[in-house]
């Protein structure tokens, strides 16, 4: 009797969780649809009708499965996945301590649907051959990866780079079809297929993309930390850690590192102030958490925080952030 009761409770909890996730998906994709220009909607629906022509077969199948499970239209799921790639405002940091250990952390901020995204944040282990191939922090219904780690190899986070019209970039990329990919799909492909920090840097630097972006990459060895500043075709700049020259960390928000951030959105300088006060000897997961919880690095639009170290995969942590 007790066993039956426990099973009933478990089944009810699972059903409630599924219902909550589906409701959150419905709300989030409805919110995102209002953000997309009306003239773009038919084009995205065309993409939804011919997914295999635009996306790798695995990702196309996953999007179809999400649409069926959530009872949402295929076009809505495609819109949600595309919009994620264009509306993120973030802070990413890679640092190295005096022992040569590398740590990587990020906040992911969104200007719309933040509450819903917090409710659907999850950590996913992608398993292959019975082992964790890579880990990601993501949102329910989202196929790409904006934050992820391949154990004992490298970690990646994505920060939006505001260059050119979002929708012009998207239209140009769709016209080119398979020659351009969403940056979040490229991150997932890199985590799945590449085996080293150097190979990840090369792939993330060269693959044509839908829109400009920053890739922040951490490795497992000393000096393995870099910001890749991308335009749609290739890397504009690769800015690497160089502890011997005093550059024991790299920090990226959403502005080119060789320019000054606007005063209305300066998360870079407050973050650097905390890091510089602590010093390289204090570089650790704990220091990352301190920086990422320092306003305005942490702000009302922050949906989640992730900290990780590819050389120590057990340190991977992620949590939703409350707007307060």
- Does the N-terminal peptide bond of residue 224 adopt cis geometry, omega within 30 degrees of 0? no
Contact 252, 130 (CB under 8 A): no
User: Which candidate, 321, 28, 99, 88, places its Cα nearest to that of 216?
Assistant: 88
Answer left, alpha or beta for residue 131, where phi above 0 means left and psi between -120 and 50 means alpha.
Answer: beta
**Residue 90 bears catalytic tag:** yes
Catalytic residue among 8, 20, 26, 90: 90
DSSP secondary structure string for all residues of 15-57: HHHHHHHHHHHHHHHHHHHHHS-TTTHHHHHHHHHTHHHHS-H
Are residues 308 and 292 in contact, defined by beta-carbon separation less than 8 angstroms? no
Residue 244 main-chain phi, psi, to 5 deg: -65, -25
Catalytic residues: 90
């Amino acid at each position: 009797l007790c066993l039956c009761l426990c099973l009933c409770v478990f089944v009810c909890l699972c059903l409630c969780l599924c219902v909550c996730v589906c409701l959150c998906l419905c709300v989030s994709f409805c919110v995102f649809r209002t953000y997309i220009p009306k003239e773009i909607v038919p084009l995205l629906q065309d993409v939804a009708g011919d997914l295999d022509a635009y996306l790798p077969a695995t990702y196309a199948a996953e999007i179809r499965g999400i649409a069926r499970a959530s009872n949402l239209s295929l076009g809505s799921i495609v819109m949600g996945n595309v919009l994620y790639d264009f509306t993120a405002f973030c802070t990413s940091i890679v640092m190295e301590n005096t022992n040569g250990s590398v740590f990587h952390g990020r906040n992911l901020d969104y200007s719309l649907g933040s509450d819903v995204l917090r409710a659907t944040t999850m950590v996913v282990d992608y398993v292959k051959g019975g082992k964790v191939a890579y880990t990601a922090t993501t949102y329910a219904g989202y196929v790409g990866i904006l934050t992820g780690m391949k154990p004992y190899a490298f970690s990646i986070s994505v920060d939006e780079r505001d260059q050119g019209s979002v929708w012009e970039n998207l239209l140009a990329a769709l016209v080119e079809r398979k020659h351009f990919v969403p940056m979040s799909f490229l991150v997932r492909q890199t985590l799945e297929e590449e085996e080293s920090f150097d190979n990840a840097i090369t792939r993330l630097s060269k693959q044509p993309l839908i829109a400009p972006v920053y890739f922040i990459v951490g490795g497992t060895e000393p000096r393995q930390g870099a910001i890749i500043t991308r335009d749609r075709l290739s890397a504009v700049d690769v800015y690497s850690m160089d502890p011997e020259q005093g550059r024991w960390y790299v920090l990226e928000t959403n502005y080119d590192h060789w320019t000054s951030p606007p005063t209305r959105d300066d998360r870079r300088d407050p973050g650097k102030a905390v890091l510089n006060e602590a010093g390289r000897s204090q570089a650790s997961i704990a220091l990352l958490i301190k920086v990422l919880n320092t306003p305005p690095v942490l702000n009302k639009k922050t949906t989640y925080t992730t900290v990780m170290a590819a050389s120590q995969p057990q340190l991977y942590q992620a949590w939703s952030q409350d707007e307060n």
